[in-house]
Structure 1
């Protein structure tokens, strides 16, 4: 079996090490996890309002061209009445992705990759995730104003 003898040339070993370090640094930039912070007091933030309200937010520096997002949503059921809703993701105050929460008491998953190219020159960019109730119970429920829509981010990654 052939064996490989490591190079004894110091300069070539340093060059190889620099290449490995550069590859590691690039890899970190390609897939950075971003933190989001809840604006409510629970881990799975709920909202029973009929107008959009921010449940999760964070500030980031757009260093890459794409942002990968995964969300978890769930409707509510109050006294046998199912509640549905809508959600939206905002970058810098503009809606860039939106969807609906089915009027069932079922967990749903959504994911996408957003283009950050228009925001690359900014030093900070506000990311907001909002939700609202669009149908269902209007009294009772978690906060007293009807069924609640639950939403939580599964991941936010710079790609």
Structure 2
């Protein structure tokens, strides 16, 4: 017996759409991990002064509206003197976020959601993570320059 193709009814089409929506909800949002690359041999900032030193950087294509970035930073202790400083994240050459590293030799874990909307038309975007030492020991330490500020990205995702 020949089969006849029928057009699905509105309720049948609605059931198909609901099934597809449920499958998307189960799968969750897709996220792109962003790799960062070290730009320093030591991975720590030993220099004194007002200038920032780039520790990590990445070049991305801003396909989404948000870069979710998690950082970890720690100061140093030389003798009995703790070292503190500051950090900043740059999008191209614009400071997108900044903060401080307390001179207490304890970890800080900044979490950021950076808006990439102004850069969506750009073919590439340079993201840099910088730190600087502003207080603490000025002599001693591993390389003789005093304490250091250590920092690293914990995660970086395009959302």
Q: Is TM > 0.5 for Structure 1 vs Structure 2?
A: yes
Residue correspondence of structure 1 range 60-139 to structure 2 within 5 A: 60-139=60-139
RMSD over aligned Cα atoms: 2.4
Distance 2:146 2:101 in 1: 15
TM-score, normalization by structure 2 = 0.80
**1:122–1:72 Cα change, 3 Å:** same
> Residues 49-96 of structure 1, C-alpha deviation per residue, up to 9 Å, x if partnerless?
232000000100000000101000000000110100000000011110
SS of 2:151's partner is: strand
Q: Which whole-Å CA distance do the structure 2 matches of 1:103 and 1:67 have between them? A: 28
Partner of residue 12, structure 2: none
Paired residues of 1:142 and 1:148 also in contact (CA < 8 A): no
Q: For 1:123 and 1:142, how far apart are their aligned partners in 2? A: 41
Q: How does 1:3-22 map to 2 (within 5 A)?
A: none
**Is the contact made by 1:68 and 1:156 (CA closer than 8 Å) also made in structure 2?**
yes
The Cα of 1:25 is off from its aligned counterpart by 10
Structure 2 unmatched runs, 5+:
9-15
Q: Which has the larger radius of gyration?
A: 2
- Give secondary structure in 2 for the equivalent of 1:132: strand
How much does 1:26 deviate? 9.3
2:44 is matched with 46
Residue 155 of structure 2 is matched in structure 1 by: 155
Alpha-carbon shift at residue 127 of structure 1 (Å) = 0.5
Per-residue deviation, 1:140: 1.4
Corresponding pairs, count: 140
- Give the corresponding residue for 2:11: none
Give unmatched runs, 5+ long, in structure 1: 1-8
Counterparts in 2 of 1:84 and 1:62: CA distance versus 1, 3 Å: same
* CA distance in structure 1 between the partners assigned to 2:38 and 2:112 by the alignment: 20
Q: C-alpha offsets along residues 1-55 of structure 1, whole Å, 9 cap, x if unaligned? A: xxxxxxxx9xx9xx99xx69xx599943xx100000011235xx21112320000
